[in-house]
Structure 1
Amino acid sequence: MSTNGTSPDEIEADIERQREELAATVTQLQSKLDLKARAQQRAAELRDRATTESGSPRPELIAGAVVTVAVIGLLVWRRTR
């Protein structure tokens, strides 16, 4: 037994646990620093939210875009008059 009251097996188990925690931390840091992968993931999330199951644009988004273009067109038309 060592002088601090822990056995070699306990010390080895503690070292292994710390290695696993360090590996998990490094993996998390790598994923946070991978900007390309994060951007691709965000784009996929937005694409999924904007399309239906068949891949076509959601009707409410199309209607919103049409209304927005109409309002902007009306404002431009009124300013030029």
Structure 2
Amino acid sequence: MNEPATPTDPQQLRAEIEQKRADLGDTVQQLAAKADVKTRAKQALGDATDKTKQRLADIRGRTAEAADTAKDKPATAQQKLADSDLPAPLRRPLPLAVIAAATVAAIITVIVVARRRRS
């Protein structure tokens, strides 16, 4: 009882056997690759490293753009202060910064003292 799909020619049989062997060899290689945890872990690490490097490059680019934008802001702020109607001592950025820093320091001191008294 020969199946109709089975070739009767010996050459065809050999060719079919070779094809099946090749397919089986490919399947075994695929299974072996799946079972090789060490190689798969290295591959995953490499992929993660590549993604991280790409993200870092993107962040560096955005940081450079932000730095370029930030370079212009002090000059713009200084020009706005010079053009404003504020009294002359307040138009200079240094005294304004000192006043702001002193105010922040005073607020922090009050908060720290208040918390220590509660304890």
TM-score normalised by L of structure 2: 0.42
Q: Which has the higher helix share?
A: 2
Structure 1 stretches of 4+ moved >3 Å:
none
The alignment-based identity, stated in percent, is 35
Which of 1 and 2 has higher RCO (CA within 8 Å, sep 6+)?
Answer: 1
Q: C-alpha distance in 2, partners of 1:57/1:34?
A: 30
RMSD, aligned α-carbons: 2.5
Of the candidates 40, 43, 47, which is equivalent to residue 41 of structure 1? 43
1:7 alignment partner AA: D
| Structure 2 unaligned blocks of 5 or more | 61-119
Aligned residue runs from structure 1 range 6-45, under 5 A:
6-45=8-47
Determine the C-alpha separation between the residues in 1 that align with 2:56 and 2:15: 54
CA drift of 1:30 comes to 0.4
Aligned length: 56
Q: Which has the larger radius of gyration?
A: 2
Residue 46 of structure 2 aligns with an amino acid whose one-letter code is A
> How far apart, CA to CA, are the structure 2 residues paired with 1:15 and 1:6?
13
